[in-house]
Amino acid sequence: MGKSSKKYAASRELFDRKTQYSVDEAVEILKKMPEKKFDESVELSVRLGVDPRHADQQVRGTVSLPRGLGKTVRIVVFAKGEPAAAAEVAGADHVGADDLAEKVQGGWTDFDVAIATPDMMGTVGRIGRVLGPRGLMPNPKSGTVTPDPARAVEEAKAGRVEFRVDKQANIHVPIGKSSFEVDALAENLSSVLDVIVKARPAASKGQYVRSATISKTMSPGVRLDRSALG
């Protein structure tokens, strides 16, 4: 058995896979798991009782993590003139127009968030085939198509994350890093859960949140108590 599989097995012994834990308990279990050589991301996975094939049962949104994300978010902004200059001052990693679109068209996607001003969406639309499959396409609903890209850059840098239900009715959202304190992870987790619960579509019938787990990059998932999930 390799080192990583030994650590995984040791992590598994810390909890019962069938038991559902409160937010604080689940985070504490995660914190007790053996550390890796890098600062693992912590992710929340939620299974919803929706049918994503129907447009009126789509679930998506954004949430600003109160304790941040614990990582450097790389941001590109498609803009010209004054909004472009403001986005640069706000800390965007790359700002451009046709030149930036050309670079992305060539296969460069070394960034986490793409923001665009409304007048640039014609240009951005042409590279949708590159951005779309990677979940990087700017969208007005998530605040990434905006006449004020500087503000969007500041929010993204501060720990604003986007979530969207996938074809299997699951949502995966990063909520911090393994090095975070228990209370910081618990606070971020509760904030994300609240927003997902509030994003329930009117067309969703029956139980909305079916199950939820939290896990580190290379750890087993710990189940959350359904009564805390709304």
Q: What is the pLDDT of residues 151-182, one digit of tens each?
A: 999 988 888 888 989 999 999 999 999 999 99
Count CB-CB contacts under 10 A for residue 159: 21
Q: Are 220 and 11 in contact (CB under 8 A)?
A: yes
Q: Which two tokens stand for residue 73?
A: 């978010």
Whether residue 2 has pLDDT greater than 70: no
What is the rounded distance in angstroms from the CA atom of residue 177 to the CA atom of residue 9? 21
Query: What pLDDT does residue 4 have?
Result: 64
Confidence of residue 1 (pLDDT cuts 50, 70, 90): very low
What is the rounded distance in angstroms from the CA atom of residue 189 to the CA atom of residue 165? 17
pTM for the model: 0.74
Residue 155 amino acid letter: E
Q: Could you tell me the fold of the domain covering 75-157?
A: Rossmann fold (3.40.50)
Whether residue 23 has pLDDT greater than 70: yes
Query: What pLDDT does residue 147 have?
Result: 96
Per the prediction, the chain carries an average pLDDT of 91
Q: In terms of Cα–Cα distance, which of 228, 229, 223 is closest to 29?
A: 223
Q: Which two tokens stand for residue 122?
A: 């014609």
pLDDT for 102-127, tens place per residue? Answer: 999 999 999 989 999 999 999 999 99
b or e along 134-156 (b: 16 or more beta carbons within 10 Å of the residue's beta carbon)?
eebbbeeebbbbbeebbebbbbb
Does the fold of domain 75-157 match that of domain 16-69+160-228? Answer: no
- The full set of domain ranges for the chain reads 16-69+160-228, 75-157
CATH number for 16-69+160-228 (one of 3.90.1300.10, 1.10.730.10, 3.40.50.300, 3.30.190.20): it is 3.30.190.20
Query: What pLDDT does residue 5 have?
Result: 79
Residue 170: which residues within 8 A CB-CB, separation 6 or more? 45, 46, 47, 48
What is the rounded distance in angstroms from the CA atom of residue 192 to the CA atom of residue 42? 13
